Amino acid sequence: MCLYTITGVFIEKFSVISDRMSLLARLFSKRKKVKLAKIVTLGTSGAGKTTLIRYLETGQEVEETDTTLGIDIRNKGVKIGNWNLSTIDVGGQELYRNALWGLAVTQADGIIYVIDGTIKEDRDPEKFAKSKLSFEYMLNIINGRKPILVLINKQDLKYMQPYNVDEAIDIYQVNQETRNRPFYVISGSAKFGENIQLGMEWLMENIESLHR
């Protein structure tokens, strides 16, 4: 009788522990699996690529950044939803564009191209020509269906009258040059984070579709 009582208590306790373990298992199974992806930022020197990455990492206003020389790879520094993003920040100077952009693109799941919206032909013809040339170069080295988010940056500099989305699409001939590609153009500010969430939501949705 005594043995039966002890055994019964043991079975009851074991059942309670088992139920708790099952509950934990169900709770953990509901947690979204962390996914990994790589994004590369491209654009001319000074367009705001590094500023954008710093904002994505901190969610805070970015005061000042150094010009990227070569390539800066930061592993899993950006977290968006259940995604951990590694970022590949490539210098925009001609030397790095020709040597590194193509390599970086092959490693990436998605591309963010940053355009300095304050660079205009009547203001600085040389910089304007370089900006258009770099954009065309980017289009030529990207194959397949990798999503491309274009940020018309520096909208916070109102006195410089930066391009809006429609103006940029016309000037950079986005519609003609980007047929059959997942493409999205936004205007915003990498420094203050204006419209950045909107653009990143689009980018991650399209990266997600590639991983299915």
Q: How far is CA 104 from CA 41, 150, 168, in A?
A: 9, 17, 25
Architecture of domain 35-211: 3-Layer(aba) Sandwich (3.40)
pLDDT at 5: 44
Element (H, E) at 71: strand 71-80
pLDDT tens, position by position, for the chain (212 residues)? 444 444 454 445 545 445 544 544 554 445 568 789 999 999 999 999 999 999 999 999 998 787 887 788 888 789 988 889 999 999 989 888 989 999 999 989 999 999 999 999 999 999 999 999 999 999 889 877 899 999 999 999 999 999 999 999 999 988 755 667 788 999 999 999 999 999 999 999 999 987 77
Tell me which residue has tokens 């047929």: 179
For the record, the structure tokens of 152 come out as 């018309």
Domain ranges of the chain: 1-31, 35-211
